[in-house]
Amino acid sequence: MTTTTPTTFPVAQLQCETDTGIETVPLAEEASFGSWQPSIPERYWGMDADELTRRIHAARETLGDEVVVLGHHYQREDIIQFADERGDSFGLAQYAADRGESKYIVFCGVHFMAEAADILRADHQTVILPNMEAGCSMADMAAEPDVWSAWRELEDFFGSTDDIIPVTYMNSAASLKAFCGANGGVVCTSSNATKVLEWAFERGKRVFFFPDQHLGRNTGHAMDIPLEEMVLWDWRAPAGNLGRATAEELERSRIILWQGHCSVHQRFSLAQIEQARAQYPDVKIVVHPECRYDVVQEADANGSTAFIVKYVQEAPAGSVIGVGTEINLVSRLAKEHPDKTVFCLDPVVCPCSTMYRVHPAYLAWVMESLVEGEVVNRIAVPDHQRQDAKVALERMLALK
Ligand code: 13P
Ligand code: SF4
């Protein structure tokens, strides 16, 4: 089979031992297709890369300015090539808030990102997520009833929650953004977490941060909050157990960290950094702040996906850069900067499996449906969540 969008990149020596090539295969040949959105019409299942690419281009041409395609940096090559705008989750939310003219925003990313766009979009716009099963396992670690239950326990323990500011990472359901909006809280992303926590500490004594413990801890540390003043809340603990924190830990806490994590970023380790430095003495290490505390401490720099892109772009020719983030982005950076050695710190390739679910067959399906006047896979945040979630998102966007 021929493919027009091969995504096998030149890899540096240290890179992944497993096959890094992520070639476009027909949907039916994808090993995990069984757990992706099955309602895509069967005629798309066997289409190869050539046909899908041709169809998406044709649909785009017909739709013209009616549609804008947004692509998160972790999207596969065969998708990102169609993105009018690429970005991190902050940049893409900002794009949606700027309310361009396009009637349809096709969001190539994961569910929580498309929800944020739907909350911020203009009235005349519709947000579409090509594959409704493209979620985020970290976001799934914070379910609304668990967060409410923890909040009530904190209220009982401290006597009130007046002094606790809830902060949700963008990687969370709209219901939790609404929870924050309704309870004096705010949303943050990996590109503005410090600013957001400063805002929160101007308003309260403690921050209740979810779902990513690592981003919360790394940000708290960067703000000189001692580790002993950040307590972990185990959401799997039965209610009434204070998330397995002790009363003393809670009393001295400034940040209460939800015990969530990203399984892609938790894979990066100190040993990988040591190995990279042993192999390339001049290597610079840049990681995403969803990595563990010790990894972020040891890295030369950390920041959002947009920060990592800029870091590599601005590095002088000849630089050697070990990156701790999702493989599609690292591979793209390696390809786009042949004058630099860019490699993934993790020797075992680990793409974000949910981002990967946005296969071009889904993009072709949603775009061709628009051509036929039908909207499929609309993201519609319910009205009862929209207003409060918008408050929390707009508080974040207002921080300069
Ligand atoms: P960014 O906001 O840095 O793009 O990160 C989103 C994400 O999901 C990282 O895993
Ligand atoms: Fe979620 Fe991790 Fe994938 Fe980011 S990389 S979307 S945090 S699972």
| 269 backbone dihedrals φ, ψ, rounded to 5° | -135, 165
Q: Read off the pLDDT of residues 126-173 as tens digits, 9 standing for 90 and up.
A: 999 999 999 999 999 999 999 999 999 999 999 999 999 999 999 999
Q: Which residue out of 326, 329, 349, 350 has the highest number of ligand 2 atoms within 8 Å of its CB and is therefore the one to mutate?
A: 326
Say if residue 17's pLDDT is above 60.
Answer: no
State the pTM of this model: 0.93
Domain edges within the chain: 27-135+354-383, 139-262, 265-344
Q: Quick one: fold of 265-344?
A: Rossmann fold (3.40.50)
pLDDT band at 22 (very low <50, low <70, confident <90, very high): low
Least confident of 112-121, 344-353, 372-381: 344-353
The answer to whether the 139-262 and 265-344 domains have the same CATH topology is: yes
Q: Read off the pLDDT of residues 172-188 as tens digits, 9 standing for 90 and up.
A: 999 999 999 999 999 99
Region of residue 371 (left: phi > 0; alpha: psi -120 to 50; beta: else)? alpha
pLDDT band at 400 (very low <50, low <70, confident <90, very high): confident
Query: What are the pocket residues of ligand 2 if the criterion is a CB atom closer than 6 Å to any ligand atom?
Result: 110, 136-138, 171, 262, 264, 290, 326, 352, 354-355
Alpha carbons 206 and 324: distance in angstroms, whole number? 30
What is the predicted pLDDT for the residue at 159?
98
Ligand nearest to C-alpha 287: 1
What is the predicted pLDDT for the residue at 21?
52
Is CATH 3.40.50.10800 what the domain over 27-135+354-383 is classified as, yes or no?
yes
Q: Which CATH class is domain 139-262?
A: alpha beta
What is the predicted pLDDT for the residue at 13?
31
Residues 6+ away with beta carbon under 8 Å from 54: none
Say if residue 298's pLDDT is above 50.
Answer: yes
Judging by beta carbons within 10 Å of its beta carbon (0-12, 13-18, 19+), is residue 226 exposed, middle or buried? exposed
Q: Which H or E element spans position 147? A: helix 144-158
Say if residue 195's pLDDT is above 50.
Answer: yes
Q: Which atom of ligand 2 approaches the CA of 290 most closely? A: 7
Task: Report CA(138)–ligand 2 centroid distance (Å).
Answer: 6
Q: Is 305 in the pocket of ligand 1 (CB under 6 A)?
A: yes
Least confident of 2-16, 40-54, 171-185, 311-325: 2-16
What is the predicted pLDDT for the residue at 6?
28
The strand ranges marked E within the chain are 67-72, 85-87, 104-108, 126-128, 164-169, 186-188, 206-210, 230-233, 255-258, 284-287, 301-302, 320-324, 341-344, 378-379
DSSP single-letter state for residue 170: S
Q: Are strands 126-128 and 378-379 parallel, antiparallel or unpaired?
A: antiparallel
